[in-house]
A and B are shown apart, each in its own frame.
Chain A
Amino acid sequence: MPLNLDTYLGVSAQALKVQSQRMEVLADNLANVDTPNYKARDIDFKAALAQAGSPDAPLALTTTTAGQVGGTSASGDPDTSGALKYRVPLAPSLDGNTVDAQMEQAAFADNTVRYQATLTFLSSRLKNLLTAITGQ
C-alpha cells in the first residue's frame, strides 16, 4: 500500500502554512503601527484552515484533456483570502489607524507558540515514519 505523505502528515502541514501567513499579517500590522488610516487585520484561523484543507481548493486548475496538470496555485500557498478580516478596534485613534501594538504583540506571541506546537507534531510524525522505515 503506497503511503501518501500528505495524508500521513494530516492537517499539520496545512496548519503550518496558515500560521505562517498569519505571522505575515500580524507582522504587517506591527510594521504599520503608525501609518495613518491603516486598518489592522487578522486571519480567522479556523476558517482559513477549513478553506486550505478543503479538497476542492478554490485555486485548483480544471483539467479538460488528458495530460494536463491539475495543480493548485503556482506558489503552493493555500488561498486564505476569505479568512482575512479587519480587526474591530477597542480604541480607534484620530488618524484612522486601528493597530493596537500590545494586542498585536500578544497575538504574535500566541501564533508563535502555536507554530512551534505544530512543528513539534510534524516532527514527531516524521520521526515515527523514520522509525518505521529503518525498523529500529
Chain B
Amino acid sequence: MSSFKIFDIAGSGLSAQSVRLNTVASNLANADSVSGDPSTVYKARHPVFEAVKAAVAAQTLGGASGTGAADTAVRVRGIVESTAAPTERYEPGNPLANEDGNVYSPNVNVIEEMTDMISASRAYQNNVEVMNTSKELMLATLKLGS
C-alpha cells in the first residue's frame, strides 16, 4: 500500500505554488525598474503549470471513463515572460532616459500580481491542509488495534 504518494502529490503542489509566489515577488519588486531601452526593460514572468502524466489522461478524455493512472502530480513546465508592450513615460530628468527623454517601465500589472498572490497563497494552504489531514490519518492507521 503506497499511502505515501499523497505526500509527493501535495508536496509537488507546494513547490509549484511557491515558484508562483516567487515570480509574483520578483514582478512586484521590479514593478518600477525603468529602463531607457524597451528591449532591456524587465518583463513580467509567470509560471506555466502542467500535470505530470497528463498525456495518459488526455487519451481517454473523449469518453466519460477515467484513466488507469491514479497518481499524477503538478510541476512547473516553464516560466514565460509577458509579451505586453512596456509603458513609455516622458521623464527627461531620469538618468536612464533615452535621447528623447523617455523611460520605459515594465509591463507588470500590480493588481493582477496581487490577486495572483492571493490565489497562490490559498492553493498553498489547501495543499498544506491535505498534507496535515493525510498525516493524521496515516498516524491513526499505524495505531490501529491498540
Contact = CB atoms under 8 A, between A and B. Distances in A.
A101 B126 contact: yes
A43 B67 CA distance: 11
Interface residues of B, number: 44
Interface stretch (B33-41, B46-54, B95-103, B104-112): B46-54
A28 B73 contact: yes
A122 B13 contact: no
Interface in B1-59: 1-3, 5-6, 9-10, 12-13, 16-17, 20, 48-51, 54, 57
24 contacts: A21-B70, A24-B5, A24-B9, A27-B130, A28-B70, A28-B73, A30-B127, A31-B16, A32-B74, A34-B17, A34-B120, A36-B49, A38-B51, A38-B54, A75-B1, A77-B1, A81-B66, A81-B67, A82-B66, A85-B66, A105-B126, A105-B129, A108-B130, A130-B145
Interface of A: 16-17, 20-21, 23-28, 30-39, 41, 43, 75-77, 80-86, 101, 105, 108, 112, 115-116, 119, 122-123, 126-127, 130
